[in-house]
Chains A and B, each alone.
Chain A
Amino acid sequence: MKQFWKSMLKSPSGVIGLVILLVAVSVAVFGPMLFPNSPWRMVQRPFLPPFTLSTVPLGTDALGRDIFAGMIFGARVSLLVGLVSTLAALIVGVPIGAMAGYFGGKVDDALMRFTEFFQTIPSFALAIVLVAILQPSIYSIVASIAVVSWPPVARLVRGEVLSLRTREYVQAAVVTGQSNSWIILREILPNALSPVIVLASLMVATAILLESSLSFLGLGDPNLISWGYMVGAGRTVIRQAWWITVFPGIAILISVLGLNLIGEGLNDALNPRLSREGR
């Protein structure tokens, strides 16, 4: 573990990513406590440009709502959606991939055909359809993002498990008569985890983008503000008021960038070959 942090902190991208994520998470957690004003409240005159009033530093939107407040509350929704939907995708994808890889044969065939069934449908289109059918709410959005993002996890885990399955220590465990679930959970998965962690950090970024895109299209939860919603609502007035879209857009850009950098850092830190070179 110490080794991991050491190499993680050695890679510049990892450090930058961690800093960004830390800032974003603390804004999401503590921001609403420091700025308790609801982002839906109409506080000033509409279309107030940024940096004109210290009470609304980033200006106001088409209804006179504080964009700064929207960014802070939006961080909570965007990050939460990213995190929860990724967790949900892992909970579905990892067991399916592990079982397919471990048992092989017909189980593998069945599970992989099922996975491919999801992979053949363009993921964003499927997400739109699911949200539209389930009616937009935070739950349906998380669920639909999870549904469209688990197949790559399953494929990745399956590949890892397939290669680990033939290792001697696994065969030794089989010979000693340990149960399948014990072998998968204790012998194989811990060793297959590194690429999954890297993938997961990128999936959080993708999930934030997916949520933003859904909100942009008006399929967000109407009771919660998110960055994507802010961009979508401001898009049509971009020629009169650029700041309504630009600031939340930057927030999306930076947090997605941060997560990608973390993914890169993790990759460097967790990849045994690369870290050996670094030593």
Chain B
Amino acid sequence: MADGDWDGPTVALRARARAKRFRLVLLEKDYDMPKRVLLGLLLVCGLAAPALAQEPKTGGVINAVIQPEPPGLMLAQVQNGPTQMVSGNIFEGLLRYSPKLEPLPELAESWSVSEDAKTYTFKLKKGVTWHDGKPFTAADVLFSMEMLKQTHARARTNLAQVDKIETPDQHTVVFTLKQPFGPFLGIFEVGSMPMVPKHLYDGTDWKTNPYNNAPIGTGPFMFKEWQKGSFIRLVKNPNYHEKGKPYLDEIYWQIIPDAAARSVAYETGKVDVLPGGSVENFDVPRLSKLKDTCVTGAGWEFFSPLAWLWLNNRQGPLADKRVRQAIMYAIDRDFAKDVIWNGLGKVATGPSASTIKYYTDDVKKYPYDPAKAKALLKEAGYKGEKIRLLPLAYGETWQRWGEAVKQNLQDVGMTIETIATDVAGGNQKISDWDYDIAFTYLYQYGDPALGVGRNYISSNIAKGQVFNNVEGYSNPEIDKLFAEGAVATPDSKRKEIYEKAQKILVEDVPVAWMLELQFPTIMRCKVKNLITTGIGVNDGFKDAWLDK
């Protein structure tokens, strides 16, 4: 089934063609062999290698699609996906993260951790100014933390371990933790912890501050205008603190409500960049075949969206572990990846995506095996009781996936009834625990303590909320492991703990893990260096340039 016109082979071919092109360039320069192979590999991986061969050019305008229109751009107060994508250009965090999730300097130029892993000292970059010309200092960091604790739910949780924050001088910030917290260096990305200007917000009503509509940050691009329903325009920050950057003059974020119209806008040349998720999957193969079009799945490593089926562990047949395991065996996840997701993504092995820390694939495996599923169902005494399936109302792809999973489960003898619902209705049902099987996908934020444990620990069973432990899985050993893992030192100890937790969870199947999703970014090949970090398009276009 690998032939045909899906995206997987196309991407590979394209990457190979690109690699060939650049390998030729390299041959002329007579690089030695290992280096050449390494570079070739980098190119195949779709990384920003062209920059090695070319100097960035300055100037030009990029048109990108933003979908849907963001509700606002004040990143510290609004955290929707599209807001993060646009405002990642306007605001900055203290750190950014490489595709391997190592911290990289942004507003903090260096950092150190004390011996007892409880004190983190950040040295801020000097000479950074806000878009209005005022200098960025440690006082702004302090103020941002204060605001985020009130306006940003995830930041509040991330900062829970912080005992106090001090600013010994204008360019130093010291965080003292109550106890060591392993993932602490992973919480400073712009969407999780954007820096806001104290001089504009201090003493005002944050919610109604006029700068919410024309945000001022330290980022490479400045907010210029927002024609509601049409476009958001950002212009180059001439005083940006990284000399020579950004390369682009302007970014237009085009707002196009219809998915088919977004594809057409790319085809007709109205837009140059389609960020992940902005067109339907089945359009991806067609669009990536277009001339001068490059596709990459990179830039989602920090978020690592993982799709799974919530299984209601509380009641009915699914309360039996063997039935849950049977579901894992019954579902053809390779089919879902190859056909429904056009070959993008990766079959999940367990609760952690392979891109996040302490991932291990040394766990029980669940290949597609209907016979085994049937045997397990029989052993568990399942007799065709009706099981309700709740698909995710996020468009065609998810609808088709729901149909395929339903068919897989029916093939092994389960009685499945699909419940049609919209996004809000689905959230309602899941948070009320009124479901048997439900589709979802969640971000993992690079560390099991930030994005994985929340879905399996029993203290997170709370009716009325949708992204916690809604499956009702409760295992004291898992609770203990995740509690220890968050604060254990050194790293090797954490690794040991999380690997153990993954093994137990995969054996118990509290939820049925499906795929590590990849949202391909489609762009014209003349757009270079768009994605350079693990945060991808959400990290801003400061490195991007146009090859004219």
A positions within 8 Å CB-CB of B = 38, 40-42, 45-47, 62-64, 132, 135-137, 218-219, 221-223, 233, 236-237, 239-240
Cα separation A241 to B280 with both chains bound (whole Å) = 15
- Rounded to whole angstroms, the CA-CA distance of A239 and B282 in the bound complex is 10
Closest partner residue, chain A, to B3 (CB atom)? A45
Look across to chain A and name the residue whose beta carbon is closest to the beta carbon of B6.
A46
- The residue in chain B whose Cβ has the minimal distance to the Cβ of A136 is B420
12 A-B contact pairs sorted by A residue (CB < 8 Å): A38-B410, A41-B407, A45-B3, A46-B4, A63-B339, A63-B404, A135-B419, A218-B399, A219-B420, A223-B418, A233-B396, A233-B399
What's the minimum C-beta distance from A117 to chain B, rounded to whole angstroms?
28
B418 in contact with A239 (CB, 8 Å)? no
Question: Hey, which chain B residues are within 8 Å of A42, CB to CB?
Answer: 335, 404, 407
Q: Which residues on A sit within 8 Å (CB–CB) of B422? A: 132
Bound-state CA distance A132–B5 (Å) is 36
Contacts of A41 in B (CB 8 A): 407, 411
Compute how far the CA of A45 lies from the CA of B402 in the bound complex, rounded to whole angstroms. 18
| A273–B282 alpha-carbon span in the complex (Å) | 57
Q: Are B406 and A40 in contact (CB under 8 A)?
A: yes
If A222-B418, A223-B418, A236-B280 touch, whether A45 touches B407 (CB-CB below 8 Å) is no
Q: Give the docked Cα–Cα distance between A69 and B404 (Å).
A: 16
Question: Which of the residues B4, B400, B417 comes within 8 Å of A233, measured between beta carbons?
Answer: B400
Contact call B403/A240, Cβ cutoff below 8 A: no
Do most interface residues of chain A lie in helix, strand or loop, or is the interface mixed?
Answer: loop
- 16 other A-B residue contacts (CB within 8 Å) besides A42-B407, A62-B282, A62-B400: A38-B407, A40-B406, A41-B407, A41-B411, A42-B335, A46-B1, A135-B420, A135-B425, A136-B420, A223-B417, A223-B418, A233-B396, A236-B260, A236-B280, A236-B283, A240-B282
A240 & B5 in contact (Cβ 8 Å cutoff): yes
Q: Which residue of A lies closest to B402 (CB)?
A: A222
| Band of interface residues on B | 20 to 34
Residues of A within 8 A of B1 (CB): 45-46
Q: A47-B4, A47-B5 are in contact. Are A236 and B282 (CB under 8 A)?
A: yes
Residue of A38, A218, A222, A237 near B282 (CB, 8 A) is A237
Alpha-carbon distance between A228 and B417 when the two chains are bound, in angstroms: 20
Check if B340 is an interface residue, CB within 8 A of chain A.
yes
Min CB distance A135 to B, Å, is 6
B340/A63 in contact, CB under 8 A: yes
B286 at the interface (CB under 8 A from A): yes
Q: Bits for B422-439, please: 1 = Cβ < 8 Å to A, else 0.
A: 100100000000000000
State whether A239 touches B403 (Cβ < 8 A). no
Q: Does B421 contact A (CB under 8 A)?
A: yes
Residue of B nearest to A220 (CB): B420
Residues of chain B in range 446-505 having any CB-CB distance to chain A below 8 Å: none
**What's the nearest-Cβ distance from chain B to residue A183, in Å?**
47
CA distance A41 to B412 in the complex (A): 12
Q: Mark B1-25, 1 if CB is under 8 A from A, else 0.
A: 1011100000000000000000000
Q: Is the CB of A64 within 8 A of B420?
A: no
From known contacts A62-B282, A218-B399, infer whether A40 and B407 are also in contact, taking CB-CB under 8 Å: yes
Assembly CA distance A221 to B421 (angstroms): 11
Please tell me which one of the listed residues A219, A222, A236 contacts residue B396 in the complex, with CB atoms under 8 A apart. A236
Instruction: State A38–B399 Cα separation when bound (angstroms).
Output: 18
Contact digits for B241-267, partner A, Cβ 8 Å, 1 yes 0 no? 000000000000000000110000000
